[in-house]
Structure 1
Amino acid sequence: MAQRHHEPTDSPAAPVAGDALTGYLRAQAVEFLRALRLHQESGGAPHGGGGAAGRAQPRAGGAGHSPDAARALRRSARRISGTLHTFRPLLDPGWSEGIRPELSWLSGTLAQEHACEARLDRLLLALHRLSGTSTTAPTPPPVPSTAPARQPTTPGPEAAPAGAPTPAATATVTAVAPAATAVATAPAASAAAAVPTATAPLPTPHPPLPDRAHLTLGAVKAGALLDRQLNLARTRAHSAALQALGSARFHAVADQVAVLASEVPLAPAAGNADLRPFAAAAEERLTDAVAALPLLTAGHPYNAEALAHGLSPDPAPHPQDTPWHQVRLLLRLHRYALEVLHTGDRAPLDGRLLAAGEALDRHRDAAEAAAAAAQAARTPRIAPATAYALGVLHADQRHEVEAARYAFQHAWQKQHVGAGTST
């Protein structure tokens, strides 16, 4: 006997009144103000002069804004902005259309620094993995006691040239070459250690493949180039975030959010309105956008068209990525609408919906990392080995894009199969 399998993301059976929207917006506004207070305590000092939310000016000589505070501000700003977009007919149009773009600006500005840092970590880890030196390299043999001690060659901060990578990043990147040397010398060291058993056959070392050796040679310089470019971008994003958090524009947004914590400007017809049709419309927009995706192409293990754009001179974003990024935004709006219907933190978690969102997050990260590798490969006058390593890195990240699309396809189809009937 077939029966309906109720999903945790289904809308509640009873109508959801506008009070749920009011409570959700107030709760997110309180979270925003709490994150603002955390920012003031960790990296900013309140500036005198009015304002319901206080002023967040950076301290002189301080460490800047806190990553946790910036993340919490971003989270609350995204949820308030997304909720205003989904339920905009129930809100005062002049107020909601004025604050929503400002919240989007704030969220996007605060996200840039973290994005640059995560992108650099992702690319450096991929370089180590592709060059075969991340986890497979054995420990190098100990240096004999008669060998002269090596003197450190890392120059001090005052001797570093302008634009050079930081010592910590250089140490991370240059770890590729010693580990690669260890791969070639470890079998000989193992054989020397096994001299007492003279009858044991000596292992035959396998020479590295030519492309792997070429990649190892260029991986160090490629990593240093990425480190320099992305650290410069991260520094600029950090400065932009500090400037934004101390600007009059942010002060105005914080004051409006402070007012939202106590009073939500609703439209006259919002009192008796049911929130479920608006959440259903957000889900329908998501379903239509997913239906337009090339899921059949994403089901193949190799999508040659995805690499055609590659390292072309055109710096525009990859044409296949845009609809997937749009689906990611619509999935986020759908999740926020469900949080409103289920009163915020008490919203049930759907594992399949979360898996689809995580796959789209990986898709976005891999696509942006591939674009960063392609941008670095367009740097004038780089060595051929460096360009080769960056090309392999770009192809690797585009394959990660395809893997994320494949994972999303399975998560989404599993979600809709599970939402059908069961025996």
Structure 2
Amino acid sequence: MAQQHLEPTDPTAEVVTGDALATYLRAQATEFLRALRLHRENGAANGGAAARDRSNTGESGAEESVDAARALRRSARRISGSLHTFRPLLDPDWSEEMRPELAWLSGTLGLEHAYEARLERLLLALHRLSGATGFPGQPAAGGGSAGTAAGAGDVTVAVAAGSRAAGAAPVPQRAAPPGGGTAGPTSAPERGNLTVGAAKAGALLERQLTLARTRAHSTALQALGSSRFHAVADKVAVLASEVPLTPAAPTTDLRPLAAAAEERLTDAIAGLPLITAGHPYNAEALVHGLSPDPSPHPQDGPWHQVRLLLRLHRYAREVLYAGNSPVDVRLLAAGQALNRHRDASEAAAAAAQAARTPRIAPATAYALGVLHADQRHEVEAARFAFQQAWQQQTISAS
């Protein structure tokens, strides 16, 4: 990618020293402490489930608690990312001790929201694919439970069903739209079979992911009350007033380190199969994704890594621009595509995991297989959208 030349009015055209890093870290630490105070004031114990209970009288406070937890994660990610990018300018012992703790906190606080969003995504996809008038998570009266005696071969049924659905989908219409698109029309017999199993598949997903979300909520509450968290909060409180820079940091230019973060991003993108992603359909990825192997999808890892590197690049820009970096619509579009990629790949994995549930009915397994294939199509659509966004960025920089 051609190098972009800084405009004369660009603040980063001048030397940006470690003092800017200290200012940024203090600001993020202050945001962290403010979010923590709001979270405590609004009752952490009501933060997750109560925010989704619209009949709860404490709805406003619960939503504020959820927002505060989100702000905690946001500040923790930015502090941790800046410690990674600019680690040569910070006390190494302190930095290496803080980064994993902040990553632990951010990951723990984000799990509940991730499960909730995953369930909503999968139920909406089931509703769209089945064409049912009722929501798939609400089985009809007398429908029974999602599990019936069917035998251990149902995972194979789900895989085969997903394969048929993937083969029947109109290729360009499924992956080309930058917004992710919708599934192509399903033939009438397959639509009928899908409708039969969609309600039970939705109920099964709702049970599994609601249980996971509840456990994540409990884990987050335990984490926020643990001595480990209090140690992190104490260190962030110190960071709000005192940043442990190296003696040379106040006169060291930050731009080479920020440029190195951008170079790591561009190198990782260069390793992606963008030629394959440039096509609206990647049959090889779908075949891989329909494997009964429960391990993570082999093609997803490099894309997740690019998403993390893009985030680090954005945080480095925030440091250089003193927290007021201009909006880069190309980076924004690329980041949104990678977020969709992550969401769809994790949703597909959840559908595949549900299909491995013992003794589910063939119709339920069929619906889960189609759902899995649909989400892998969404993965390919997100890759295509990223390829388009990044290609536009390269052209603009030329």
C-alpha change, 1:296 and 1:259, in structure 2 (3 Å) is same
2:67 counterpart residue number: 68
Residue 31 of structure 2 aligns with an amino acid whose one-letter code is E
Deviation string 1:149-195 (CA, Å, 9 cap, x unpaired) is xxx979xxxxx99x9xxxxxxxxxxxxxxxxxxxxxxxxxxxxxxxx
| Structure 2 Cα separation of the partners of residues 11 and 357 of structure 1 | 24
3-state DSSP class of the match of 2:335? Answer: helix
- Residues 116 and 233 of structure 1 are in contact (CA less than 8 Å); yes or no, is this contact kept in structure 2? yes
Residue 393 of structure 1 aligns to a residue whose secondary structure is helix
CA contact (8 A) 1:376 1:390 kept: yes
Give the corresponding residue for 1:59. none
The structure that has the greater radius of gyration is 1
Q: 1:44 to 1:388 in 2, by over 3 A?
A: closer
Alignment partner for residue 317 of structure 1, among 280, 286, 296? 296
**Aligned-pair CA distance for 1:302:** 1.5
Q: Deviations over 1:310-354 (max 9, x none)?
A: 34332110000000000000000000000000000x211100000
Q: What SS class does the counterpart of residue 69 from structure 1 fall into?
A: helix
Local SS of the residue matching 1:315: coil
Give the partner amino acid of 2:128.
R
Question: Quick one: distance in 1 between partners of 2:222 and 2:292?
Answer: 33
Of residues 289-298 and 305-314 in structure 1, the stretch that sits farther from structure 2 once superposed is 305-314
Once residues 128 and 337 of structure 1 are traced to their aligned partners in structure 2, the CA distance between those partners, rounded to angstroms, is 41
Letter in 2 for 1:98: E
Equivalent pairs, count: 334
Paired residue for 2:388? 410
Give the deviation of 1:385 after TM superposition: 0.6
CA 1:134–1:277: 2 relative to 1, 3 Å:
farther
1:361 Cα deviation from its structure 2 partner:
0.1
Q: 1:64 to 1:352 in 2, by over 3 A?
A: closer
Give the 3 Å change call, closer, same or farther, for CA 404–88 of structure 1 in structure 2.
same
> What's the secondary structure of 1:397's corresponding residue?
helix
Q: Pick from 354, 369, 373 the counterpart of residue 395 of structure 1.
A: 373
1:95 aligns to what? Answer: 94
Q: Give me the whole-angstrom Cα distance separating, in 2, the residues matched to 1:115 and 1:32.
A: 21
Change (3 A) 1:89 1:335: same
In the alignment, what sits opposite 2:357? 379
**What's the CA shift string for 1:179-237, capped at 9, x where partnerless?**
xxxxxxxxxxxxxxxxxxxxxxxxxxxxx811001000000000000000000100010
**Shift, 1:34, TM fit:** 0.5
Equivalents in 2 of 1:44, 1:239: separation in Å?
A: 11
Question: Aligned partners of 1:288 and 1:77: how far apart in 2?
Answer: 26
In the aligned structure 2, how far is the partner of 1:15 from the partner of 1:117? 44
- 2:215 & 2:17 partners in 1: Cα distance? 45
Instruction: Tell me, in whole angstroms, the C-alpha distance in 2 between the residues paired with 1:64 and 1:99.
Output: 29
Matched, 1:41 2:51: no
Kept in 2: contact 1:355–1:411 (CA 8 A): yes
Secondary structure, counterpart of 1:262 in structure 2: coil
Q: 1:354 to 1:134 in 2, by over 3 A?
A: farther
| Equivalence for 1:16 | 16
1:186-205, aligned counterparts within 5 Å?
none
- Aligned 8 A contact 1:109 1:237 in 2: yes
Q: Which amino acid aligns with 2:351?
A: A
Are the counterparts in 2 of residues 370 and 394 from structure 1 also a CA contact under 8 Å? yes
Q: Secondary structure at the match of 1:403?
A: helix
TM-aligned CA deviation for residue 133 of structure 1: 3.1
Cα distance in 2, alignment partners of residues 310 and 12 from structure 1 = 44
Maintained 8 Å contact 1:363/1:401? yes
Using the TM superposition, give the Cα deviation of residue 70 of structure 1 relative to its aligned residue in structure 2, in angstroms: 0.9
Amino acid corresponding to residue 259 of structure 2 in structure 1 = A
- What secondary structure is seen at the aligned counterpart in 1 of 2:12? coil
Residues 88 and 82 of structure 1, relative CA distance in 2, 3 Å threshold: same
Q: Distance in 1 between matches of 2:387 and 2:6?
A: 21
Paired amino acid for 2:119: L
Q: Is the 8 A contact 2:19 2:249 kept in 1?
A: no
Residue 344 of structure 2: aligned partner: 366
2:238 to 249, 259, 266: 259
Q: Distance in 2 between matches of 1:317 and 1:7?
A: 43
State the TM-score, normalizing by the size of structure 1: 0.75
Q: Partners of 2:277 and 2:35 in 1: how far apart? A: 39
Encode CA deviations 1:62-110: one digit per residue, 9 max, x unaligned.
Answer: 9799211110000000000000000000000011110110000000000
User: In the TM superposition, what is the alpha-carbon distance from 1:309 to its structure 2 partner?
Assistant: 2.6
Tell me the TM-score normalized by structure 2. Answer: 0.80
The Cα shift of 1:304 comes to: 1.4
Letter in 2 for 1:388: Y
Tell me the residue number matched to 2:312.
333
What SS is found at the alignment partner of 2:248? Answer: helix
Question: Separation in 2 of the partners of 1:69 and 1:348?
Answer: 25
The answer for the alignment partner of 2:104 in structure 1 is 105
* Aligned twin of 2:195: 216
Name 1:199's counterpart in structure 2. none
Query: Following the alignment from structure 1 to structure 2, what is the Cα–Cα distance between the partners of residues 5 and 25?
Result: 27
Give the structure 2 partner of residue 282 of structure 1: 261
Query: 1:228 aligned to 2:228?
Result: no
Query: CA separation in 2, counterparts of 1:16 and 1:134?
Result: 58
Indicate how the Cα distance of structure 1 residues 103 and 304 shifts in structure 2: closer, same or farther if over 3 A, else same: same
Residue 86 of structure 1 aligns with which residue? 85
Q: Tell me, in whole angstroms, the C-alpha distance in 1 between the residues paired with 2:209 and 2:217.
A: 12
Greater fraction of residues in helix: 2
